[in-house]
Amino acid sequence: MTIRGGDTSRLRRINLVTTLRTVRSQGPIGLTDLARGAALSRPTVEGLVEELLAAGWLRELPPESGQMGRPARLFAFHATGGHVLGIDIGSYTLRVSVADLDGAVVAAHDEQISATAGRAERLAGLRTAIAAALDAGGLTADRIAAVCAGTTGVVTAEGVVKLSVGLPEWTGLDLAGELRAGFDCPVLVENDCNLAALAERWRGQARSVDDLVFVLSGVRTGAGILVGGKLLKGARGGAGEIGALPLVGWHRAPVHLTGFQGLPPGTAPRDAAAQVFAAARSDDPAAQWAVEQYARDLAEGIAALVLTVDPELVVLGGGVSRSGDVLLAPLRRHLDPFCLEPPVVAISDLGEQAVVLGAVRRALDHVDARLYDFDAPLPKPFS
């Protein structure tokens, strides 16, 4: 804590961060208020602001007209100085969102794809979706600060898909490597349920919740866990994979919906859940029984997660979250008796945007971590 000669450049880096954090929390702000907020002298702050303007992290607002005397200079965080890309690689849809450094989504593109598409076809679709989203945002890849992609399956720290039962030819794919070919900036890959958990904490049902179990349910079932506000990824990327345990019913849960006898012939698996829930809502007893069975199997895996980590909140997302009105009561009926205390359960309202929003949040967190790392040089807002 004693600052000595050799630490001058580090002290400057620390002061750059303090200045930037103050602008982000209090801006637009003038130099006098900024010096007070950052607890630095005004000449020091002035120099720091010039450096942050030059680097592209701050922008100067046009002077306010109509004031007496020379108007005070006003500075704000340059949120559009860089952008991040969030990606959701699903079975049927490849979603790409472009967000500015404040997390505002400025452009997006959804690319439809066949659930049976193999690795090459899915990667080609992904490149198309990325190009279209960048184009819609009027940006090129070299203006991107960080990329994060969500995918089903177990993902290593290096961004390799170690295991995926959801997507054909996906196991073993170096997804981070594939994506890095198109970008100079950091590229992250994460399990999609993990990203959805981050999204719920950022903009969903779990704001201010640090200990969360997110359950994605629909054609497949998965989980993402937050402990102390951070993703629980596991030593080998396998946290939240309770669905692999045959003793709990996640492996058979979707079959109650996709295999429901009352479905019109030719109903696609992805449309089955909505139809069964709609029938249950209309008091069809067979559909209600299917929902009951589905809820029971879902509850078994959720109970295992709850009894292991004891979260503050369980958020249910994915396709079935649109049918929360029908599902919640039977789910609670089966879940509560399994648990020591009834867990608090909420239905996601992020819909199909949860994973891609979480990917944006994860990419922004990476940008911020570099920006606020005293021990590294001040980065640029892109590439």
Region from 66-74, 123-131, 189-197, 246-254 binding a second copy, contact rule CB under 8 A: 246-254
Burial 88-115 (b: 16+ CB within 10 A, else e): bbbbebbbbbbbbbebeebbbbbbebee
- The one among 92, 183, 338, 372 contacting a second copy by CB under 8 A: 338
Place of tokens 């920006």: 371
| Nearer to a second copy among residue 104 and residue 344 (C-beta) | 344
Cβ atoms of residues 187 and 176 within 8 Å: yes
- Does 144 sit near a second copy (CB under 8 A)? no
Binding residue count for a second copy, defined by CB under 8 A: 48
Q: Is 291 exposed, middle or buried (0-12, 13-18, 19+ CB in 10 A)?
A: buried
- Does 369 sit near a second copy (CB under 8 A)? no
- Does 245 sit near a second copy (CB under 8 A)? yes
Question: What span, in angstroms and rounded, lies between the C-alpha atoms of 212 and 151?
Answer: 20
Q: What distances in angstroms separate CA 377 from CA 11, 78, 95, 371, one per listed residue?
A: 12, 19, 33, 9
| Nearer to a second copy among residue 10 and residue 72 (C-beta) | 10
| Nearer to a second copy among residue 134 and residue 161 (C-beta) | 161
- Minimum distance from CB of 100 to a second copy (Å)? 29
- Does 378 sit near a second copy (CB under 8 A)? no
Alpha-carbon torsion angle 43, 45, 47, 49, nearest 10: -150
Question: What span, in angstroms and rounded, lies between the C-alpha atoms of 182 and 38?
Answer: 39
| Nearer to a second copy among residue 93 and residue 156 (C-beta) | 156
- Minimum distance from CB of 334 to a second copy (Å)? 12
- Minimum distance from CB of 83 to a second copy (Å)? 30
- Does 14 sit near a second copy (CB under 8 A)? yes
Region from 66-74, 141-149, 244-252, 281-289 binding a second copy, contact rule CB under 8 A: 244-252
- Does 66 sit near a second copy (CB under 8 A)? no
- Minimum distance from CB of 349 to a second copy (Å)? 22
Question: What span, in angstroms and rounded, lies between the C-alpha atoms of 199 and 218?
Answer: 18
- The one among 159, 237, 318, 324 contacting a second copy by CB under 8 A: 237
Could you say which residues in the range 112-141 bind a second copy, by CB under 8 A? none
- The one among 47, 182, 234, 269 contacting a second copy by CB under 8 A: 234
Structure tokens at 275: 């139809």
Phi first, then psi: give them for residue 78, nearest 5 degrees: -90, 75
- Does 191 sit near a second copy (CB under 8 A)? no
- Does 312 sit near a second copy (CB under 8 A)? yes
Length of the chain: 383
Orientation of helix 285-309 relative to helix 324-338, angle to 10°:
50
In sequence order, the 6+-apart residues with CB closer than 8 A to the CB of 372 are 17, 21
- Can you give the binding site for a second copy, defined by CB under 8 A? 1-4, 11, 14-15, 18, 39-40, 154, 163, 211, 225, 227-228, 230, 232-242, 244-248, 300, 303-312, 338-341
